[in-house]
Amino acid sequence: MSQHPILIQGGMGAGVSSWRLANAVSRTGQLGVVSGTALEVILARRLQDGDPGGHMRRALDDFPFPRMAEQVWKTYYIPGGKAELASYRATPMHARVNSRELNELTIVANFVEVWLAREGHNNPVGINFLEKIQHPHLPAILGAMMAGVGYVLMGAGIPIKIPGVLDAYANMQPATYPLYVSGAQDGDDCMMRLDPREYMDSTLPPLRRPYFLAIIASNTLATTMVRKANGRVDGFIIEGPSAGGHNAPPRGKLVLNEKGEAVYGERDRVDLAKIREGGLPFWLAGGYGSPEMVAQALASGAAGVQVGTAFAYCEESGLREDYKQRLRDKAREGTIEVFTDPVSSPTGFPFKAALLEGTASDREVYLARPRICDIGQLRESYRKPDGSIGYRCSSEPVSIYLSKSGTVEETVGRKCLCNSLLANIGHQQVRAGKHIEPGLVTSGDDLVAIGRFMPKDGTAYTAASVVEQLMSGVPAECESEKAEVADVVSSTI
């Protein structure tokens, strides 16, 4: 019998898995997950939009240290919201060593998102991070744990050092995280450090250690996690290449199909028998958004499934309403296409995008946007000739990237995911009062099938209706097990 939920709503960045979506899913007794990506930027922009509904204020009021919460409020809140064509104030960019101000903003932002997702029910809530976005890890995880996050889920990299961070914070001890620095030499200090006690204005009750689920796409990574992680790994999410967001690159030499997408083959299949032998619970992700696939996953020994795309287009998701509606319409008409772009992401990982006019999936829209890097979540750290650490993004202006020892090949076809993803959730930057950042909607291949969740008389559907439909694939004997354990989970998490 597993003490974990069967259904995990995938963490979808940035802000698509908002607190509202995670709250709606966790209320059903399944696991709602907030995206932890760029939450400090999202909170700052929500406040500059005037905090509609007063939700940020409500969560800030419960932040244990009023001085820190007030500082964030004072810095970013604009009563009534900024003018539509005014620019958002920039937030500082992360680096190996952050200013105290940025660490506080990041701690508070992660607290707020998890706090709101947990509000009004007793079920666990998770937070999703990408390992590749390393700079914010230490303050972000601390903020999420201060709000009582029940699960930390992390993919897009090899998160072997995350369990140690969770353990350190649970013991109120300083945490460290090794930053990947391109070209680093022996003796370089590449460590990020954060002592939680330096951010506590008063003593807090002990923080609970959340479960840690690693998102993986290969047996090798599962083995590495178990053998090399610096603390407990509680399970795996095994994500296939049809999943939305970033995908693990295919193994071996990159082969493209006639549309220019990365091709996955036999070597990319995960051997579930080997995963089962490891004994840890696992969830399957990527195309599991139907009752039949839920049943199939459980029959294969999985503890459940993680589903993203079906939730991305439901009422509570953070995706902006106009994109959501147009994509639901296209899905219903059968005219939607999803393209797995091998180069658009500065991470170098394939990134899926729904083809939608007016967004950066449209070549003309992409080419019309001057390159600019002013959010910097995906910046890579590199060793400068003087031995210090510099930061660069292959989507920034090419001349600047080259001046930082980047290569021109690295810049080809790169898109600014930071600005696009914030535009997707209605926080598009406006420059010089007229240039409005376009979005770029990432989606799983399952987008073509979301019609199954839409009612006959319209296209909008709720997160609870997705949960209900997916859970109808769970055999009755698993359901009764879950009913028994639901109480255990809610009383301990």
Ligand X SMILES: Cc1cc2nc3c(=O)[nH]c(=O)nc-3n(C[C@H](O)[C@H](O)[C@H](O)COP(=O)(O)O)c2cc1C
Summarize as ranges the residues that interact with ligand X (CB under 6 A).
10-13, 16, 35, 37, 128, 130, 155, 215, 239, 242-245, 285-287, 289, 306-309, 312, 442-444, 446
Torsion sign over Cα 484, 487, 490, 493? negative
- Listed in order, strand segments (DSSP E) in 401-476 are 430-431, 435-436
For residues 446 and 287, the answer to whether their CB atoms sit within 8 Å is yes
Please tell me whether residue 430 adopts helix, strand or coil conformation. Answer: strand
| Angle, vertex CA 183, rays to CA 180 and CA 185, nearest 5 | 90
The nearest distance, CB 21 to ligand X, in angstroms, is 11
The nearest distance, CB 430 to ligand X, in angstroms, is 23
The nearest distance, CB 264 to ligand X, in angstroms, is 14
Q: How many whole angstroms separate alpha carbon 204 and alpha carbon 360?
A: 45
Which one, 72 or 421, has the nearer CB to ligand X?
A: 421
Which one, 143 or 287, has the nearer CB to ligand X?
A: 287
Q: How many whole angstroms separate alpha carbon 398 and alpha carbon 490?
A: 51
Structure tokens at 432: 């010089």
The nearest distance, CB 425 to ligand X, in angstroms, is 10
The nearest distance, CB 331 to ligand X, in angstroms, is 13
The nearest distance, CB 277 to ligand X, in angstroms, is 23
Which one, 65 or 211, has the nearer CB to ligand X?
A: 211
Which one, 139 or 240, has the nearer CB to ligand X?
A: 240
Which residue of the chain is nearest ligand X when measured via CB? 308
The nearest distance, CB 282 to ligand X, in angstroms, is 13
The nearest distance, CB 80 to ligand X, in angstroms, is 30
Q: How many whole angstroms separate alpha carbon 177 and alpha carbon 275?
A: 27
Structure tokens at 226: 């178990």
In sequence order, what are the residues at sequence separation of 6 or more whose Cβ sits closer than 8 angstroms to the Cβ of residue 220?
A: none
In sequence order, what are the residues at sequence separation of 6 or more whose Cβ sits closer than 8 angstroms to the Cβ of residue 278?
A: 222, 223, 226
Q: Which helix (H) or strand (E) holds 304?
A: strand 304-307
The nearest distance, CB 62 to ligand X, in angstroms, is 26
Q: Residue 54 region, left (φ>0) first, then alpha (ψ -120 to 50), else beta?
A: left
Q: Are strands 191-194 and 175-178 parallel, antiparallel or unpaired?
A: antiparallel
Which one, 48 or 442, has the nearer CB to ligand X?
A: 442
Structure tokens at 247: 């995908």
Which one, 136 or 390, has the nearer CB to ligand X?
A: 136
Which one, 309 or 345, has the nearer CB to ligand X?
A: 309
Which one, 63 or 282, has the nearer CB to ligand X?
A: 282
Please tell me whether residue 491 adopts helix, strand or coil conformation. Answer: helix
Which one, 150 or 196, has the nearer CB to ligand X?
A: 150
Burial (CB count within 10 angstroms: exposed 0-12, middle 13-18, buried 19+), residue 39? buried
Amino acid at 194: L
Amino acid at 203: T
